[in-house]
Amino acid sequence: MPHTRRHFLKASTLLTTGLILPEATSLVNPCAEQSYKIAVVDLMILKRQKLGAFQLTKEIGADGLEVDMGSLGQRETFDNQLADPAIRQQFLDKAKELNLTICSLAMTGFYAQSFATRPTYLRMVQDCFDTMNAMNVKVAFLPLGVQGDLVKNPELRPAIVERLKEVGKLARKAGVIVGIETSLDARGEVALLDEIGSTHIQSYVNFSNPLKAGRDLHEELRILGRKRICQIHCTDEDGVWLQHNTRLDMKQVKQTLDAMRWSGWLVIERSRDAADPRNVKKNFSANTTYLKSIFQAG
């Protein structure tokens, strides 16, 4: 019995972080209470790798923060200030002081740079994993970006699959999950994940992608399934706050995720008011308050 209990607790931990691996799901109590936590993105609150991001996150009212790995440009790896142990410790101490969680590290440099062709991609990814392990962060965000758009550039698929297989091996060794964002529909992303064949490469869902493409968000979530989704960017394009967004029914989203028995971090990326887009505190506080009213009510 003690051995079984240890495994159950491990599975429960995976559930609450959204990291649901196939070997853990059978041990999760189907009646266990679901948990949703709300985070913001340091890059989007204009505090990329800045210590002040934590105080602002606290003032916004979120539970945690997605921290960026830094810019990439034409460097061999990210401009990562967190590689410095002293700076890294400041971030960890501030998060602890304010009772905030670093829910993920983001490799947003790949929004503009090519994951398919950059020669030092393994060094970049390993630097991210080393930082994650030093900070006890379990999820990395990897967008395939404009140059890695598999809908517009299907010829890149073999290279991207091969590289993600290698990333999956490194992630397994590091004990972390990499959440990828692609331009594919849900069935296409499932096929891509199956081809990669690693439980350490999962889907980091961005609600705006299916919404912009006119696809059914709820059907997309169900097709992906809870075991493939590590985290969610729980916003739409900029324009209006979430509470005013007529194409994103957040109460229905919660019903869908509840029915899937998914739990984890909902990370606010955009949905800024077009009339006042740079008012960070106002925009992200409004969206955080609204998400909490839906996902943490009661």
pLDDT tens readout for residues 224-267: 999 999 999 999 999 999 999 999 999 999 999 999 999 999 99
Tens digits of residue pLDDT in 171-191: 999 999 999 999 999 999 999
Residue 175, C-beta contacts closer than 8 angstroms, at least 6 positions apart? 133, 138
User: Is 273 contained in some domain?
Assistant: yes
pLDDT of residue 33: 59
User: Is 6 contained in some domain?
Assistant: no
Among 238, 255, 249, 231, which residue's Cα sits nearest to residue 290?
249
User: Is 72 contained in some domain?
Assistant: yes
Residue 10 pLDDT exceeds 70: no
What's the mean pLDDT in 108-121?
Answer: 96
pLDDT of residue 103: 98
Among 233, 292, 242, which residue's Cα sits nearest to residue 271?
242
Query: What would the 3-class secondary structure string for the chain be?
Result: CHHHHHHHHHHHHHHHHCCCCHHHHCCCCCCCCCCEEEEEECCCCCCCCCCHHHHHHHHHCCCEEEEECCCCCCCCCCCCHHHCHHHHHHHHHHHHHCCCEEEEEECHHHHCCCCCCCCCHHHHHHHHHHHHHHHCCCEEEEECCCCCCCCCCHHHHHHHHHHHHHHHHHHHHHCCEEEEECCCCHHHHHHHHHHHCCCCEEEEEECHHHHHHCCCHHHHHHHHCHHHEEEEECCCCCECCHHHCCCCCHHHHHHHHHHHCCCEEEEECCCCECCCCCCHHHHHHHHHHHHHHHHCCC
What's the mean pLDDT in 41-46?
Answer: 98
Bigger pLDDT: 248 vs 5: 248
Measured over the CA atoms of residue 27, residue 21, residue 233 and residue 154, the dihedral's sign is negative
pLDDT of residue 254: 97
The chain-wide mean pLDDT, for the chain, equals: 90
User: Is 44 contained in some domain?
Assistant: yes
> Percent of the chain beyond pLDDT 70?
88
Query: What would the 3-class secondary structure string for 167-216 be?
Result: HHHHHHHHCCEEEEECCCCHHHHHHHHHHHCCCCEEEEEECHHHHHHCCC
pLDDT of residue 18: 42
User: Is 8 contained in some domain?
Assistant: no
User: Is 14 contained in some domain?
Assistant: no
Domain hosting residue 234, numbered range: 32-295
pLDDT of residue 123: 98
Bigger pLDDT: 8 vs 208: 208
Residue 8 pLDDT exceeds 90: no
pLDDT of residue 6: 38
Q: Are strands 229-233 and 177-181 parallel, antiparallel or unpaired?
A: unpaired
Tens digits of residue pLDDT in 11-29: 333 433 444 443 333 222 2
Q: Whole-model pTM?
A: 0.89
User: Is 2 contained in some domain?
Assistant: no
pLDDT of residue 111: 95
What's the mean pLDDT in 46-74?
Answer: 97
> Percent of the chain beyond pLDDT 90?
88
* Matching residue, tokens 């439980």: 199
What is the domain count for the chain?
Answer: 1
Q: Residue 279 belongs to a domain with what CATH number?
A: 3.20.20.150
What values do phi and psi take at 141, rounded to 5?
A: -100, 125
Among 232, 279, 276, 278, which residue's Cα sits nearest to residue 257?
232
Among 249, 243, 248, 179, which residue's Cα sits nearest to residue 208?
248
Residue 217 pLDDT exceeds 80: yes
pLDDT of residue 12: 36
User: Is 212 contained in some domain?
Assistant: yes
